[in-house]
Amino acid sequence: MQNASTHFGGIFDIERKQRRADDLARESAVEGFWDDNERALKVMKEKGGLDRQVSDWKAVKSLSDDVVTLLELAEEMEDVETAEEARQQLQVLEADVRGMEIRRLLSAEDDAMDCILEINAGAGGPDAADWADMLLRMYKRWAERRGFTTELLDLQTAEEAGIRGATIAIRGDYAFGYLQAESGVHRLVRISPFDQNARRHTAFAAVAAYPEVDDTIEININPADIKMETMRASGAGGQHINTTDSAVRLRHLPTGIAVLCRAERSQHKNRDKAMKMLRAKLYQLELDKRNEAQDEVNAKKKRIDFGSQIRSYVMQPYQQVKDLRTGESVGDVTGVLEGKLNGFMEAWLAARAEGRLEES
């Protein structure tokens, strides 16, 4: 086990990370460090991430040593209780190492960022609108399970049921790193609650994830390149209809990218949120150009229809959720819709690291 600990340390490159953290600590102690606030924030953010990784490794190493000691005692004393305690601690150790491995996979420059998530109904009529609403709830539940926060940026309800589309911000450690695995078309197969003959229907919805750009990242947007439109942000009906032009659409003329925000009653607040959405999309566009993978990342540019899905959720005639990119599948459809998505996300991250993801 001691050799295994040393081996794991090599895998996670702890010595290099400790040296880098020490270098950043010395840099932050230099007089005038905070004179360049933007640079200082970047340094402290990197140092904080490295410190957490080193701390996690030390905790795993300590637990590994404890398990070795318990196993040696159990063998020496032929003690069943001690052996059982060692077995339980070994399970905890395996889970901790697995967590470290996943965090190691979250190594891209934007993985640590918060996320802006778009959901749009596709083919399938009212079933597709209902499916988009189910996906919105699924991602909110996933965020709750991880202790992340969510903020509704835009919501467009459908006439009969569900939603035409929604945009939410999900904020927490590595939110974008995980949620980028969800970009693509999601297919639902079930007995339609909207079919009087109780027939099976297929519905589609698209999900697109963008890193939310914070103030430490400079995105140059010329105000002259933005066209702003205002409109009434109608709600579900009746007295909830907004009678002022509070909804804001921003269009970036050079790229044609448009965002719409109507979540707030205040036009000023909607404009601020729309700018966040626009910054996120422009940042993602630059990353896409760099990686030459825009069609893979931006699910909205694909047809939200048959043949383009990344994951299928089948409720009838059998129960299964299967990711078509990684082959990951589970039979607990209800659990997945309640936010149990980590297995799919981790399989995607592992496939990305191993270069097994094909362009869709």
130 with 158, same domain: the answer is yes
- As for how many domains the chain has, the answer is 2
Cα 358 → chain centroid: 20
pLDDT in tens, the chain (360 residues): 444 444 455 556 778 888 998 999 999 999 999 998 878 888 887 888 788 778 888 888 888 888 899 998 988 888 888 989 988 988 888 877 877 777 778 877 788 889 999 999 998 899 999 999 999 999 999 999 999 999 999 999 998 889 999 999 999 989 999 999 999 999 999 999 998 888 999 999 999 999 987 655 667 788 888 998 888 766 544 334 445 678 888 999 988 899 989 888 888 888 888 888 888 888 888 777 766 544 454 444 455 555 568 999 999 889 999 999 999 999 999 999 999 999 999 999 989 888 777 544
Final residue of a structural domain among 88, 105, 122: 105
Final residue of a structural domain among 105, 130, 149: 105
279 with 253, same domain: the answer is yes
The reported pLDDT for the residue numbered 297 is: 47
193 with 255, same domain: the answer is yes
The reported pLDDT for the residue numbered 11 is: 53
For residue 116, the number of C-alpha atoms closer than 13 Å in the C-beta half-sphere is 23
The parent domain of residue 291 ranges over 114-353
The per-residue DSSP string of 294-350 comes to: HHHH-GGGS-SSTT-EEEEEE-SSS-EEEETTT--EES-HHHHHTT--HHHHHHHHH
The reported pLDDT for the residue numbered 308 is: 67
The reported pLDDT for the residue numbered 241 is: 43
Pairing of strands 247-252, 320-323: unpaired
Q: Is residue 358 part of a domain?
A: no
Cα distance between residue 157 and residue 101, in whole Å: 40
184 with 359: CB under 8 angstroms?
no
Q: Supply the CATH number for residue 220's domain.
A: 3.30.70.1660
Cα 326 → chain centroid: 17
> Which residues are bridge partners to 249 per DSSP?
229, 260
Q: Phi then psi for 78, rounded to 5 degrees?
A: 50, 50
- What are the tens digits of pLDDT across the range 180-191? 999 999 999 999
- Is the torsion defined by CA of 111, 295, 143, 99 positive or negative? negative
The reported pLDDT for the residue numbered 150 is: 96
Q: Which residue has the tokens 């032929």?
A: 78
